[in-house]
Structure 1
């Protein structure tokens, strides 16, 4: 490496670390939702469909703010989009304090929408920035490496939730129904307050990170406005909508995120129903699944040095599908184990679909990134669908056929994309 190349690498190290850390930070928020579903279901006496609205409100924020994020990047650049995203993330976290005081489920859903709006800016900017910080041919490998830090944040989020939010007394619905009004009011106030301090500290942390990013020198690729790229123009999006391989990538991302969010959202519920565990034990299974997810990211990144990314994607999607079918057919701890194991095989899907979808798009990468982030709305659709299936069938296990079908779509994407590859 030449002296000039070494100097460029040193200048980019601090910005690279700051951006990679964003993958950790949105992992914390994403998987705290899985704990909140179990917590709110108990606190507000919700059906599975109503509890699934936690994810619906959250991922709706991604859908609504992805294109505005791309337009903002056109005017202000990547770093400004990241800074605004972190500020919105912090604001949503701070709103948990008054939502808990009000003991209002809709208020909590609104706060989650604000958090997700900030994450839409972060994901729309961080993913393409990482993808373009090097050769296109290694974009999938680079994104998988960066995203390996996302499940670490997810693990931290679940640990925070299980230790501080689910730390109260685990009353059954029958016990809650028999409580005197005064005792019920006191218990609900305590359970609602359990979310205040974790989210307050998260809010302070992400706002501090925004300040750090704002004062750190970044390379030109992160600060340039790129107005000449005409990001977000109608013609830009029109060209993408006339590009079938890219649209298939958007569909694959929609179904993949739905599968991932659906499995994790109801893993605690599945463990309680199928294996008779407590909610905290179920949270431990969720933590284990996230550890496997993180290991899968590192393993997948290493395997892609030897195997084509699309071949690995097809194999992992097929295994994920079979594991969800197994969890539907076989209950108890084996079914829980199958769902936990599926997280390892989910690990490479999001970054691989993302990188393969934007491959070769050049100036349209930012606009394509916005549409791929909008596809995260699958996380709003499929948990609610799983809750509906569970409520109508009387079995959360039967609802696991929904993510099984989603993984089948991801397999189809890998199959079609590999056949089209030159």
Structure 2
């Protein structure tokens, strides 16, 4: 289906508007949704070190935040496809924003009670809303105008997602991480319950501020789509999930694509989640200072994505992905074995290598699926579960130091976190194998 759309786009008239005048306000409102979930995705990565310090958690326990977030993404992808099929794209946006608002407001009682488990429940509900939004908004944008300009329209909307990502990192750095008390685990243990509660109360207040503050924007968008009812259902064919799944699992390119996407998303979330802790451990910086390197990593990711998109005119995307997967393996090994200054920049470079992988796997896996593309796309969104599995697994390796023997030149916590980056090596190897096995023409 996507190939047909691209073909039509190539023959479209230059006079055909990317977004017709009657849909411009809808398009702007949808762009705000793209920005919103990009912002919240990257801001949540910073909650792991924040909750680790606030609640004095080990790495594996703190990473349950990512389990709740990306686990919810996986659970609600298929229900979102059913929702927009049975009702409309507008209903999908309303339900998605509604769940986000409920989840974000749940941060308030969680902070007041200083209860980590309540935070996890709120994160799960919030992320469920984002999952529905992400599954809904892409086809919604495509529907807002002529089919010949649909790809350009979607690319334009997606171009605003990195703006949200950068905003999320900046908000986390200056509102959450900068307001963490510098007291260490040992110092917090020695405090009286009253003193510790006072510190936590202030820290959790600043955790709530950006999430609850964004509710006002979400309500404005929600009210717009509630009032404007000129949204259509997805009429692109019947949706028979069981039948579609049976057909899809028999297609090696798709089935292996879901596996590759699982490992890719897993490595992306794991690397970004543990970047701040790695920098803190190796360079001895606090959370806010270490977040500078995380910001540089995200900027390199965004720049490389734009560059790779341009180069795909001339180079087979699968070949490019194979090269970048090899780079990811090499930089992960550098993060493990090189001296501190070089290893930190290898860590940053891993993000550049990840830049083109999600959309490339997505495009190869969905090629020529016809009417099964809806369930196929939902399956690839469900592969985001990799972030909920691989991130805590890597955290457990950091806590236990089981692989520390592979870096005998380093000791203690530094050896533990360095050695855990053997996990990204394995993940990139899976992506490399997929790109080699399912090389496609440039049009993929």
TM-score (norm 2): 0.86
| Equivalent residues of 1:29, 1:154 under 8 A apart | yes
2:212 corresponds to 1:209: no
Counterparts of 2:116 and 2:391, CA distance in 1: 17
| Equivalent residues of 2:398, 2:417 under 8 A apart | yes
Show structure 1 runs of 5+ residues with no match. none
2:134 corresponds to 1:123: yes
Range 303-312 or range 334-343, more displaced: 303-312
CA RMSD after TM alignment: 2.7
Counterparts of 2:301 and 2:377, CA distance in 1: 23
SS of the residue corresponding to residue 178 of structure 2 reads coil
In structure 1, the residue matched to 2:68 is 57
Counterparts of 1:413 and 1:87, CA distance in 2: 38
Deviation at 1:242, TM superposition (A): 1.7
One of 165, 170, 193 as aligned partner of 1:181: 193
Structure 1 pair 7–276 and aligned structure 2 pair: CA distance change class (3 A): closer
- Report which of the two has the higher share of helix: 1
| Equivalent residues of 2:178, 2:287 under 8 A apart | no
| Equivalent residues of 1:144, 1:352 under 8 A apart | no
Counterparts of 2:97 and 2:441, CA distance in 1: 38
CA shift digits 1:274-313 (9 cap, x unpaired): 1111111111111111111121222122122222222222
Alignment of 1:16-95 (within 5 A): 16-95=27-106
One of 163, 170, 177 as aligned partner of 1:166: 177
In structure 2, the residue matched to 1:98 is 109
Range 74-83 or range 403-412, more displaced: 74-83
Show structure 2 runs of 5+ residues with no match. 1-11, 402-412
Deviation at 1:124, TM superposition (A): 1.9
Alignment of 1:301-380 (within 5 A): 301-380=309-388
One of 379, 392, 417 as aligned partner of 1:396: 417
Counterparts of 1:50 and 1:381, CA distance in 2: 13
2:426 corresponds to 1:418: no
Counterparts of 1:85 and 1:117, CA distance in 2: 7
SS of the residue corresponding to residue 283 of structure 1 reads helix
In structure 2, the residue matched to 1:409 is 430
Structure 1 pair 8–123 and aligned structure 2 pair: CA distance change class (3 A): closer
Structure 1 pair 390–58 and aligned structure 2 pair: CA distance change class (3 A): same
| Equivalent residues of 1:62, 1:117 under 8 A apart | yes
| Equivalent residues of 1:176, 1:184 under 8 A apart | yes
Structure 1 pair 91–4 and aligned structure 2 pair: CA distance change class (3 A): same
Counterparts of 1:36 and 1:84, CA distance in 2: 25
Range 397-406 or range 411-420, more displaced: 411-420
In structure 2, the residue matched to 1:300 is 308
In structure 1, the residue matched to 2:211 is 199
Structure 1 pair 89–418 and aligned structure 2 pair: CA distance change class (3 A): same
In structure 1, the residue matched to 2:9 is none
Deviation at 1:333, TM superposition (A): 2.8
SS of the residue corresponding to residue 5 of structure 1 reads coil
Structure 1 pair 88–406 and aligned structure 2 pair: CA distance change class (3 A): same
| Equivalent residues of 1:57, 1:109 under 8 A apart | yes
CA shift digits 1:66-85 (9 cap, x unpaired): 11111112102333212311
| Equivalent residues of 1:274, 1:331 under 8 A apart | no
TM-score (norm 1): 0.91
| Equivalent residues of 2:324, 2:354 under 8 A apart | yes
2:279 corresponds to 1:259: no
Deviation at 1:217, TM superposition (A): 7.4
Counterparts of 1:166 and 1:118, CA distance in 2: 25
Q: How many residues align?
A: 417
CA shift digits 1:302-334 (9 cap, x unpaired): 122222222222222221221111101124232
Counterparts of 1:405 and 1:134, CA distance in 2: 43
One of 205, 208, 223 as aligned partner of 2:232: 223
Counterparts of 1:111 and 1:232, CA distance in 2: 32
Counterparts of 1:398 and 1:46, CA distance in 2: 20
2:279 corresponds to 1:271: yes
